Amino acid sequence: MKGHGLRKKRVAETNTTWLKLASVLDPRFKDLKCLPRGEREEVWTRLEEMLQEAAPRRWIILSQTIDIVQLRPLYRYEAEPTISIEECPLQWTLFSYWPHSPKKVNLAF
């Protein structure tokens, strides 16, 4: 029975990780005020790691400067202000953010 408890804990931690990532991708909650300050940067770092992992293999052999260019849309998204809780994140993504970076839309959907 002890193994079952560890499995439940691991599943709960995994679910929490995905909820945090979903929150950072929602322009209404990307400031992550629902999390302690110490955890906020970890979520952004994990998202950055996931983007690097999802990059085509050809990016691996290029210089680090190119990798930074690839992540620039993420930095731009992070720097933009959060939107009002009443605003629709889909409309914001399509009409406000889309002109800057269609890659973020692919990540969100």
More confident: 100 or 30: 30
- Whether 103 shows a pLDDT value over 80: the answer reads no
pTM exceeding the 0.95 threshold for the entire prediction: no
Taking residues 61-81, report their average pLDDT. 64
Tell me the C-alpha distance between 70 and 52, whole Å.
9
Rounded to whole angstroms, what are the CA distances from 72 to 54, 59, 69?
15, 14, 5
Give the tens place of pLDDT for each residue, 8-28: 777 777 789 999 999 999 999
Taking residues 84-107, report their average pLDDT. 69
